[in-house]
Amino acid sequence: MADNGFTTTVLHSDRRSSVEHGAIHKPLHPSCEYAFNDARELAAVFQGKSGFTYARQGTPTTQALENKITQMEGGTNTVSFSTGMAALTAIFFTLLKKGDHLISSHYIFGNTNSLLATLMDLGVEVTFVDATNVEEVKAALRPNTRMVFTESIANPGTQVADMRAIGQWCLENGLVYVLDNTLTTPWLCQGKAMGAALVMNSLSKYIGGHGHALGGAVTDTGLYDWSQYPNINDAYRKGASSSWGLTQIKKKGLRDMGATLSSDSAHRLAIGAETLSLRMAKACDNALALARAFAEHKRVERVHYPGMPSHPQHQRSMEFFGGRFGAIMSVELAADIDVFDFLNKLRVFVLATHLGDTRTLVLPVAHTIYYEMGAQRRAEMGIADNMLRISVGIEDTPDLINDFFQALDDC
Ligand SMILES: *Cc1c(COP(=O)(O)O)cnc(C)c1O
C-alpha cells in the first residue's frame, strides 16, 4: 500500500487488513469488554501485547480509523479520542508537569486558548508568541521549555505558522513540536514534513467532513526521540523509545481521562475520510473563488485568506500546501454594515459554528467563539468586531457568491 496515493490508501486500508467475512469496511464493534480463551493471553495483553481488553482503551473499529490516520500523516501510530479537545487535553496534561514551560502561538482556537489557561492555573508556564516568525519562538526559550504548540493555519485570522523552521529548531533542541493540523488536514500538509513530533487532527472537521460525528486523533510522526524527554513515566520506558510518548498519551490520557471515541463515531468518521481529498479540493477551490470575488467588492473591507497574494504568508502557503490554501477565510465588512442584519439575509450560507462541513458555514466571531475572552485579548489576536468567519463548503460556486452579494446589496 505504501506506493499508492493518498485516497487509494485510505479507501483500501480496511479491506487489506484482516476484516471478517471479506467486508470492505471494518465492522462496528459495540462490545465494552473483550474475552479470552486463554488466561495467559489475557495477562499478556494487560502487560503490553497488542489486543483489546476494555473499550475505553479502544476497539477494532477505532483502531481501523487510527490506522487510516497514521497512513494519511505518514506517521508511526495514532490514538483516537472522543473530540479534538480531548486529544489536545491528553497531550498537554500527560506530557507537561508543574514547572514546565510551553511556547504557544498567539493565534489558536478559542477553546485551546481556554484549555491553556487551565494548564497555567495548574502551574505550567505558557508563553504566547507570534508563531508566524520562528525568531519569536526561539526568543521565548527557557531552560524548562519542553514543548512548542502551533496550528497550521490559524482560525479565524488564517495566520500560517513558520512550521518547517519551528519543527527543525525543536528537533535540534529536544523540544516536542505539537502541530494542530485540523485546518489543513494531512491532505494539504503532513505534520511530519514540518518536523512535528505529534500531530493533532480534529476528526470532527474535514476528515469526518459531514458534521455528523465528533472525534480527535494524535499521531506520532516518528521524528522525536522520546528517550530524551524527561516526563515519561518509568512504566512506559519499555520497548522501542519511539513509542514511549504515544504510550503515555494512550495510558494516562485515553485510559485514565476516559474521553474515548465510540465505535459508532469511528465508523462514520472513517466513511468521511474516504472522500477527504475530493471534498478538500472542491472546498479549497470554492474558497479561493470567494476570496477573489469578495476582495473586489467595495463593501468588504478586508479578506484574510492565504490564497490571496496580499496575505502575509502567501508565499509560505504555496510552498507548504502545494497550491491550495484551505477552506477557512475571514472577512471584515464595511463599518456601516450591521453584521447581524447582514447575516440574517443569507439564504445558502448556514449561520452556525463548526467548520469543515460539506455546507458553507458563517459566524460573527467576536460575538460568539471569541466572546468569552474579552476585548483586550481579542485585539491581541486580531479579532475585529465586524469579522465573519466563513468555513467554505462544496456547494456550486456561483450559488455562494450570489448569496453573499445579494445580502451585501441589501444592507
Ligand atoms: C475544532 C477545532 C478543535 C477542537 O476539535 P473538536 O473536535 O471540536 O473538539 C481544535 N483545534 C482546531 C483548530 C479546531 O478547529
What CATH number is given to the structural domain containing 16? 3.40.640.10
- Name every protein residue with a CB atom under 6 angstroms from any ligand 1 atom: 83-85, 109, 112, 151, 155, 180, 182-183, 202, 204-205, 214, 216, 355
Same domain, 234 and 289: no
Ligand 1 mean position to 40 CA, how many Å? 41
Same domain, 87 and 210: yes
Confidence of residue 48 (pLDDT cuts 50, 70, 90): confident
206 C-alpha vs ligand 1 centroid, how far in Å?
11
Distance (angstroms) between ligand 1 centre and the Cα of 10 equals 22
- Residue ranges of alpha helices (H) inside 258-326 are 263-274, 276-296, 314-321
* Residues 262 and 315 occupy one common structural domain: no
pLDDT exceeds cutoff 90 at 381: no
**Distance between alpha carbon 110 and the CA centroid of its chain, in Å?**
13
In whole angstroms, what is the distance from residue 377 CA to residue 367 CA? 13
Same structural domain, 268 and 299: no
- What pLDDT is stored for residue 377 in this prediction? 82
Residue 1: is its pLDDT beyond 60?
A: no
Answer yes or no: is pLDDT of 19 > 80.
no
Reading the block at residue 216, the C-alpha cell is 480527535
Q: Residues near 308 by Cβ (< 8 Å), separated by ≥ 6?
A: 291, 292, 295, 314
- Considering 234, 256, 273, which residue would you say is the last residue of a domain? 273
In a domain, residue 336? The reply is yes
Would the CA dihedral through 221, 225, 231, 236 be positive or negative? positive
Q: List the Cα angle 364/366/372 in 5-degree steps.
A: 130
In-domain check, residue 1: no
Q: Which amino acid is at 54?
A: Y
- Total number of domains constituting the chain: 2
Average pLDDT over residues 173-191: 98
Q: What share of the chain is helix, strand, coil (3-state, %, to 5)?
A: 45, 15, 40
Domain boundary among 250, 273, 296: 273
Q: For residue 228, which phi and psi values (nearest 5 degrees)?
A: -95, 0
pLDDT digits (tens, 9 = 90+) for 270-309: 999 999 999 999 999 999 999 999 999 999 999 999 999 9
Give the distance (Å) from ligand 1 centre to CA of residue 85: 6
Provide the pLDDT for residue 2. Answer: 56
- Which one of 273, 289, 314 terminates a domain? 273
SS3 85: helix
Query: What was the pLDDT predicted at 379?
Result: 87
Q: Which residue has a Cα nearest atom 5 of ligand 1?
A: 84
* Residue spans of alpha helices (H) in 96-243: 110-121, 134-139, 163-172, 185-188
Name the residue range of residue 403's domain. 276-409
Question: What is the atom index within ligand 1 of the atom nearest the CA of 203?
Answer: 7
Q: Taking residues 59-85, report their average pLDDT.
A: 97
Q: What is the mean pLDDT of the chain?
A: 95
**Is pLDDT at 122 greater than 50 in this prediction?**
yes
**Same structural domain, 30 and 158:** yes
pLDDT digits (tens, 9 = 90+) for 345-379: 999 999 999 999 999 999 999 999 888 888 998 88
> Residues 169-173: what's their mean pLDDT?
97
Instruction: Please name the residue that has the C-alpha cell 527543525.
Output: 168
Co-location of 309 and 242 in the same domain: no
Report which ligand 1 atom has the smallest distance to the Cα of 183. Answer: 13
Residue in the structure block whose three cell numbers are 474516504? 274
Q: How far, in Å, from the CA of 41 to the mean position of ligand 1?
A: 38
Please compute, for residue 307, the number of CA atoms within 13 A of its CA located in the half-sphere on the CB side.
Answer: 23
Examine the domain organization and report whether 242 and 326 are in the same domain: no
Per residue in 94-109, pLDDT tens?
Answer: 999 999 999 999 999 9
Co-location of 383 and 296 in the same domain: yes
Average pLDDT (37-45) is 97
Residue 378, pLDDT score: 86
Cα–Cα distance, 266 to 346 (Å, whole number): 34
Mean pLDDT, residues 379-392: 90
- For residue 155, give the ligand 1 atom closest to its CA: 13
The predicted pLDDT at position 13 comes to 86
DSSP letters for 311-342: STTHHHHHHHHTT---SEEEEEE-TTS-HHHH
Check pLDDT > 50 for residue 187: yes
Average of per-residue pLDDT across 321-350: 96
Kindly report whether the global pTM for this prediction surpasses the value 0.75. Answer: yes
* Whether residue 262 is found in the same domain as residue 119: yes
**Do 96 and 138 share a structural domain?**
yes
- Tell which atom from ligand 1 comes closest to the C-alpha of 154: 13
| Omega within 30 of 0 (cis) for the link into 156 | yes
Comparing CA positions, the residue from 389, 162, 185, 138 lying closest to residue 281 is 185
The closest alpha carbon to 160, from 24, 328, 19, belongs to 328
222 lies in the same domain as 261: yes
Say whether both 213 and 255 belong to one domain.
yes
Of the candidate ranges 76-90, 177-191, 340-354, 366-380, the one whose mean pLDDT is the lowest: 366-380
- Cα distances from 287 to residues 241, 273, 291, 308, 398, in angstroms, run 42, 20, 6, 10, 12
